[in-house]
Structure 1
Amino acid sequence: MLGDISALDNVYIVCGRTDMRKQIDGLCAIIEEQLKMNPHENSIFLFCGRKKDRIKAIYREKDGIVLLYKRLTGSGSYKWPRNQNEVKSLTWKQFEWLMDGLEIEQPKAIKPPVKK
């Protein structure tokens, strides 16, 4: 059963291009081997292909791993950072901006206070 992703601790965007033919095992291998992170932590990892019109998201639930796939049907594209071999942590607001087709860094947005 699909759970509520807002209960996840972190949203990570995997920058650069990802081969969108990869499925759960291939994406988990990228997370473990290339990014040196744990795909089983309470986080969602976002991947984007060359065309920037489709994304895959992967996260762990208590009974398995979920793979989500979204392809834009209009003429837009995701504003995806292209620095290879990099992962960025996003706020939920930045995640919303990304899903709305906006840049994840909005210079005029009010920034939340930094946690100490």
Structure 2
Amino acid sequence: MLALPGSTRVYLACGATDLRKSIDGLAALVQAGFGLDLFASSLFVFCNRERNKLKILYWDHNGFWLFYRRLEKGTFEWPRGSEGTVTVTSRELRWLLDGLSLSQRQAHPQVTAEIAV
């Protein structure tokens, strides 16, 4: 996957999305349905009802990227809510894409260090 700036926000569209929608349909959903800024440094991630396909919409400089992922086996651990979005970190998105839960209890928590020595 592309390396994105650390300031990139990731929004998961809760519930199932009709993935027959392409860039324009997903963009309309982001703006009208969720009230989010489509042109901010953000990824908008959508999942189908069977939880085996994802689409990721991303604005980059002068156009949109639309990433598509289809699993041959297994499903994504997708948030079950029916409306709105969930904001996750890029680390949590990698977990999700790897088939893991968004809450990895064994993962090391982030440490905010103030002094190295």
**What TM-score, normalized by structure 1, do the two folds share?**
0.87
- Tell me the equivalent position of 1:19: 18
Counterpart among 76, 79, 104 of residue 78 in structure 1: 76
Task: Calculate percent identity across the aligned residue pairs.
Answer: 33
3-state secondary structure, aligned to 1:33: helix
In structure 2, the gaps of 5 or more residues are 113-117
- Tell me the equivalent position of 1:93: 91
In structure 1, the gaps of 5 or more residues are none
> Which one-letter code corresponds to 2:79 in the other structure?
P
Deviation at 1:113, TM superposition (A): 5.2
Deviation at 1:101, TM superposition (A): 0.2
Count residues in correspondence: 111
- Tell me the equivalent position of 1:106: 104
- Tell me the equivalent position of 1:53: 52
Please tell me whether the aligned partners of residues 15 and 82 of structure 1 are also in contact (alpha carbons under 8 angstroms).
yes
Give the number of the structure whose alpha-carbon radius of gyration is greater: 2
3-state secondary structure, aligned to 1:27: helix
3-state secondary structure, aligned to 1:31: helix
Deviation at 1:11, TM superposition (A): 1.2
CA RMSD of aligned residues (A): 1.8
> Which one-letter code corresponds to 1:68 in the other structure?
F
Q: Would you say 1:41 and 2:40 are equivalent positions?
A: yes
Please tell me whether the aligned partners of residues 34 and 85 of structure 1 are also in contact (alpha carbons under 8 angstroms).
no
More off after superposition, 101-110 vs 49-58: 101-110
Please tell me whether the aligned partners of residues 45 and 58 of structure 1 are also in contact (alpha carbons under 8 angstroms).
yes
**What TM-score, normalized by structure 2, do the two folds share?**
0.86
Please tell me whether the aligned partners of residues 11 and 43 of structure 1 are also in contact (alpha carbons under 8 angstroms).
yes
